[in-house]
Amino acid sequence: MITQTVVLSAFLCSVHSFTIQDSLEKSDQYSGNTIEDDDFSISTLLERANANVGKNFDEPLVIGDIAVPTGFQNADPCTERGCLWPKSPDGNVYVPYRISRQFSQREREVIIQGLRSFAQSTCIRFTPLNRQRDFVNIQSRSGCYSFVGRRGNGQIVSLNRRGCVFHSIVQHELLHALGFNHEQTRSDRDNHVRILLQNVIPGMEHNFRKIQTRNLGTPYDYSSVMHYGRFAFSKNREPTILPIPDNDVVIGRATQMSPTDILRINRLYRCNSTAPALQIQLLPEPEPVQRNHFL
Ligand SMILES: [Zn+2]
């Protein structure tokens, strides 16, 4: 009985918040879709900061803002070895980190704030490195990038001091490190966006390929911090990503993780934290585990 009440109130809550969100979206969905309005979208920030990414000899191959281990491009090491971070018996997932001394005190604070934000609504706990083998090694390299999932040993998360030290980018890159891909590469993205490859800078088409992702029963989310903006990698100031069926919906402008981003972490890592999940429509968990989830 108690369970039924909880489920019912969660359902009512989701209906209610959807109504509010709908009206909010309607009020501004027809404004602010110019390329200038996209100046601070995640993808614009990444594009700007990644102009010279990965060109140093000691850096990994970087595609978009995803680092790829050379020699493994066609394989999917995640499915072979498991690239989730391990869960501790207390239910939390501890992800050790080290932050390079390259960063100023102010930059360090922005990064730590980003790391801490995960603990507010998920079971992810970024903790200072203390002799663990696997950890995220946060440095200011040639751009903003991260590997997808746990790679083993110290894995670089690059947050260039000029262009990447923003709350949204910190969360974005760490979501990659936790195992997430870009929203517009989701397996079901063709139901929600149209990719206009004719407007994409030649050679950048790979940023728009579709991946057989596990979507964890969560809806496609235009406001995910993992969603690129409509002019991402545009060669002609024309859109490269169009939301469908309503082309005017605002996309890719998240300044922080959305409730869906949080729900996905909680589902992928089977966290018990559920508070933010009540604000969005809950779908059944489903989907057989698909291969090629990561990269
Ligand atoms: Zn990314």
Please tell me the distance between residue 145's alpha carbon and the centre of ligand 1 in angstroms: 7
Angle at 229 between CA 151 and CA 214, to 5 degrees: 40
Please tell me the distance between residue 265's alpha carbon and the centre of ligand 1 in angstroms: 16
Of 63 and 171, more confident: 171
pLDDT confidence band for 190 (50 / 70 / 90): very high
Task: Report the mean per-residue pLDDT for the chain.
Answer: 81
What is d(CA 52, CA 143) in angstroms, rounded to the nearest whole number? 7
Rounded to an integer, what is the distance from CA 100 to the centroid of its chain? 22
pLDDT at site 138: 98
pLDDT at site 285: 47
Please tell me the distance between residue 245's alpha carbon and the centre of ligand 1 in angstroms: 25
Could you list the residues known to form a binding site, using ranges.
Answer: 172, 176, 182
173 is catalytic: yes
Please tell me the distance between residue 179's alpha carbon and the centre of ligand 1 in angstroms: 11
Looking at residue 234, the DSSP 8-state letter turns out to be B
Render pLDDT for 86-115 as a digit per residue (tens, 0 to 9). Answer: 999 999 999 999 999 999 999 999 999 999
pLDDT at site 161: 97
Render pLDDT for 214-261 as a digit per residue (tens, 0 to 9). Answer: 888 899 999 999 999 999 999 999 999 999 999 999 999 999 999 999
Which residue out of 36, 107, 109, 173 is catalytically annotated?
Answer: 173
Whether cis (ω within 30° of 0) applies to the bond prior to 245 is yes
What is d(CA 59, CA 69) in angstroms, rounded to the nearest whole number? 10
Delimit the domains of the chain by residue range: 35-269
Class of 35-269 in CATH: alpha beta
Whether the predicted model's global pTM rises above the 0.85 cut: no
What is d(CA 283, CA 85) in angstroms, rounded to the nearest whole number? 25
Could you list the residues known to form a binding site for Zn(2+), using ranges.
Answer: 172, 176, 182
Mean local confidence (pLDDT), 74-96: 76
Q: Is the dihedral of CA 267, 272, 278, 282 positive or negative?
A: positive
